[in-house]
Structure 1
């Protein structure tokens, strides 16, 4: 995926630079009745939702997103071609095995076995290599001043639709009404509700495949297509989506590949 290609509107939280905001279909919201989709590919039409397309294909949203490389919040655009996952066969129930009649026999004498030799402890796995700041990355600033509550790569807690996965961003402490500022200059490519997990969500394109995402928001102060400056107020903190308390979920991605935002943000003293 390159900036010129993504300028046409490639979504899924990572969309590259574009002179104007691309046209998106809705995300996972809505039911959207329609005829079953039996073809192996389907082109997204105006009014389609990711949930409705998955239902018409007879698959889960997770399976459809996995095959097409679209992570939650499953944002799609009009004209995007989706592949249908292979149907999962229903396992047949095995025939019952008859229980043999019990045999009466003298049990053999137990032969003592030597104690097994202790196994050597497995070697420790090396710690993962730290993320390194890439050349050409945009200059970013902290969107809020709160402390980091959950770091990049930590397990998502139970109760979330992403439970068992790794955190693709960081979670920052906040309070209701706190101003959220753009981490860098760019163009707003998504501003609205993502009902599956993130609630009120803003995605800003910074060019060259770099985007930032701001989730669990309250009031959204920008709209799709707005050009924002670095540190411009774009929203205020609320408690939407899966947030149990006022929090900001912040992500940085390049070509839809998550990056650790802390590596690219100024060092806090």
Structure 2
């Protein structure tokens, strides 16, 4: 009658089989152990593993994966959110899975260093920003001069007004008669003279050097003050600056020797004079070689 007793050990074998199953389930544990070890070694290694698998991160780029945000990518790469948005033309934080972002700063391959030196990166950016205004102040004078010359070149290039036929005379007429006080290519401070300055009494009539069409007449060129630009039929443009009064308007056809302005000292002039330029295909040339 005690035969069932020997069969009782069978339930004891079942737990052993279950223990064997439990021993198999922990087999994936070596993976978290490795991750825990890396996390203990460097607190940001877990973040650095993500870009190495999901984002390309190589060559200053990163590929967006599901769940990514700009702030998350900034933490992974070490670049600021503002810099990432600016480098990729992002007006908002919307990202697409698979989108490749340019990373302007920070190394994905060295997230630990970026994390440890993040405050240093901010200080570097701030110090660079504070130095820029000083450089702008130092170069403000040449920038102003080049800005006026750029405007003159732009008007000469962009104007599509058709000039009338020239008189056929080989040389240009002198716009005024006076003493040249500043030659072509001379410098005053940091500004280069792209024409010649002729000293004349204020109110002296300024004459057109050749038949042409007025492509500019106004005071928008701060350095030159009241200025007239005339295009001629060979693509040449003549410039008349520092006038006290203008006698023509844009689009008006003028004849050689016609009064187009009165001399003065508008703009940056320190004395009554005429600033005169000759431009060939918008490039300034020495007027002395073109005047009769």
TM-score by length of 1: 0.48
- Could you say which structure has the larger radius of gyration? 2
TM-score by length of 2: 0.44
